[in-house]
Amino acid sequence: MRKIVLLIVLSFLLSFTVGCFANTQKDHKTLKKKGVELFLLQLKNQYNSVYEHWDELKLNTVKIMDKPLFVENEIEIMTDGILKVNKEFFVAKGEGIDTGLLSEDNTNKTLKYEIDGKRFEVNQSSNNFLYNYYIHGVCVVSDGNRIIFVKQNDFNKAYAVGGVSGVERKTKKGAIGIPYVLVVDGKRNELGVIKIGEGDFAVPEIFDSWTYMGFPDNLPNLIPNASTLSKEQTD
C-alpha cells in the first residue's frame, strides 16, 4: 500500500515539474520573441499646427508604425546608453521630398542625396524608402546593410527668418531628427529622438501665427554613429 501511495506522489511531482519546466520554456520563448524593438511614429496626413504633433508625443498613447525599424535579431547590444545594431548608419544631405512643415501631399517624389561624394536617388515608392518624417523633412533609406538618414533642411538662422535679410529673430538650439519609441519585452520603454543634426529654431513672438519647430526639451536624444545609437549626455 505504501509503495502505491509513494508511486502516486512521485508521479504527481514528476508531472508538476515537467509542467513547470514547459511553462518556463514557453515564457522564455515568448520573451525572446518579443525582445527589443525600435519603432518610428505613425504620422497623420496633416496637422493643424506643430503643437498638435508635439502634444501627441506621449509614450503610452502615441501611434507607432506597424513594423519596427529594428527587431531583436538586428540589435546586438542594448545598455542604458547604447543601442548597437548589425547595420551601419549614415547621415546625408538631400532634397526632393521636403513637402513642408505640417502636411504630406502624398504625391510620388524622388529623394536625391549624397554620401562620400557619390550621388544617389531613391523613389518614394521604392522598398528602400522606409520613412518620411515630414515635420523636419528627414527621410530614412535602406541600402543593403546601410541605414541612411537624409536631412533636407538645416533649420539655420536664415531659415528661421524666412530668408529675409536684416530681420532679427530670437532662436533656440534644438535637435533635427526623428522621434522613436523603444519597446522592450512587448512594453513601451522610451520615447525619444534619433538626432541627426542641430538647428536654430525661431522662437514665436506674441503676435506670430506659427509655432516653434524644435522638439520638446524633455525627450532623450540618440546619436547615430557607425553601427550604434548612443544616448546624448546632457548637463
* 4-57 pLDDT per residue, tens: 544 444 454 445 444 544 444 433 333 343 588 999 999 998 888 888 999 999
- Determine the pLDDT at residue 199: 94
Q: Are 84 and 228 in contact (CB under 8 A)?
A: yes
Q: Does residue 78 carry a pLDDT above 90? A: no
Q: Residue 222: beta bridge partners? A: 194, 231
- Determine the pLDDT at residue 170: 86
Q: In the Cβ-directed half-sphere of 77, how many Cα atoms lie within 13 Å?
A: 9
Question: How far is residue 210's CA from residue 48's CA, in Å, rounded to a whole number?
Answer: 10
Lowest mean pLDDT among 9-18, 83-92, 180-189: 9-18
Instruction: Report phi then psi at 71, rounded to 5.
Output: -105, 175
Angstrom CA distances, 99 to 51, 56, 194, stand at 18, 21, 20
> What average pLDDT does the chain have?
83
Burial of 218 (0-12, 13-18, 19+ CB in 10 A): exposed
Question: How far is residue 150's CA from residue 183's CA, in Å, rounded to a whole number?
Answer: 24
- Determine the pLDDT at residue 107: 80
- Residue 205 pLDDT level (bands cut at 50, 70, 90): confident
- 3-class state of residue 203 by DSSP: coil
pTM of the model as a whole: 0.80
Q: Which residues of 152-169 are buried (b: 16+ CB within 10 A; e: fewer)?
A: bbebeeebbbeeeeeeee
Question: How far is residue 192's CA from residue 129's CA, in Å, rounded to a whole number?
Answer: 22
- Quote the cell numbers at residue 65: 508604425
- pLDDT tens profile 111-148: 999 999 999 999 999 999 999 999 999 999 999 999 99
Torsion of CA 185, 191, 193, 199, to 10 degrees: 180
Q: Does residue 70 carry a pLDDT above 70? A: yes
